[in-house]
A and B are shown apart, each in its own frame.
Chain A
């Protein structure tokens, strides 16, 4: 199974990781390709300027990376909705996004980061969590997708 994680929204990332973790539990080989806003899910979320241009740095500040900073795609309400949803998830003992990421790594899910999106956003390999296995382009993704039976864009 392959998943393209395009969105950096909390709800969509949770859906992607639920499928990845279930697939891994079912013995499937799972590859997650993080691109565009989806990169923020696996960013460390630091404030280092790095090699970013002033414009890239500003964009990075306006959309800070990190699993803990993801917001709902709907009903965020200035963070109130996201806070409420996180509370509900805790009450129903659902893993947080960060816990889902850790579980995916434990289960051998492969993380790929899109180098084109990284260039546009001024991100470097060191800006990402340790679990990222490869930094690649679309051809690598398509190579994996043609061998998989389930390919989703989230």
Chain B
């Protein structure tokens, strides 16, 4: 997937991946895609919950060897 920005949250636990995602998405334009790298499994439930409340969209997850990639499309616009 073509991404506009990558955010490395490896080694970070709740709530930091969500807090950093919220900060990172601010620098994107509506429709652009943020890739978040994480290894806290909580992200799989937390990111959709966050996106649902903030008008953004989780496009999907990719998981490989404990590393989780989350793709988030910025809403609005």
Residues of chain B within 8 A of A131, CB atoms compared: none
Q: In whole Å, how far is A25's beta carbon from the nearest beta carbon of chain B?
A: 4
Could you tell me if B13 and A25 are in contact, using CB atoms closer than 8 angstroms?
A: no
Per-position 1/0 for B3-24, Cβ under 8 A of A: 0000000011111101101110
Count, A-B residue pairs, CB within 8 A: 39
A22 engages B15 (CB within 8 Å): yes
Binds B, one of A54-62, A91-99, A120-128, A135-143: A91-99
Interface residues on B, range: 10 to 19
Task: Please state if B22 and A26 are interface contacts (CB–CB under 8 Å).
Answer: yes
Q: Tell me which of A25, A93, A94, A95 contacts B18 (CB under 8 A).
A: A25
Asked whether, in the complex, the Cβ of A93 is within 8 Å of the Cβ of B22, the reply is no
A-side interface size class: 10 to 19
- CB neighbours (8 Å) of B53 from chain A are 26-28
- Please report the C-alpha to C-alpha distance between residue A22 and residue B54 in the assembled complex, in whole angstroms: 12
Complex contacts, B22 vs chain A, CB 8 Å: 24-27
Inter-subunit contact A25/B21 (CB<8 Å): yes
In the docked arrangement, what's the CA distance between A12 and B54, Å? 27
Q: Using a CB–CB distance below 8 Å, which chain B residues touch chain A?
A: 11-16, 18-19, 21-23, 49-50, 53-54
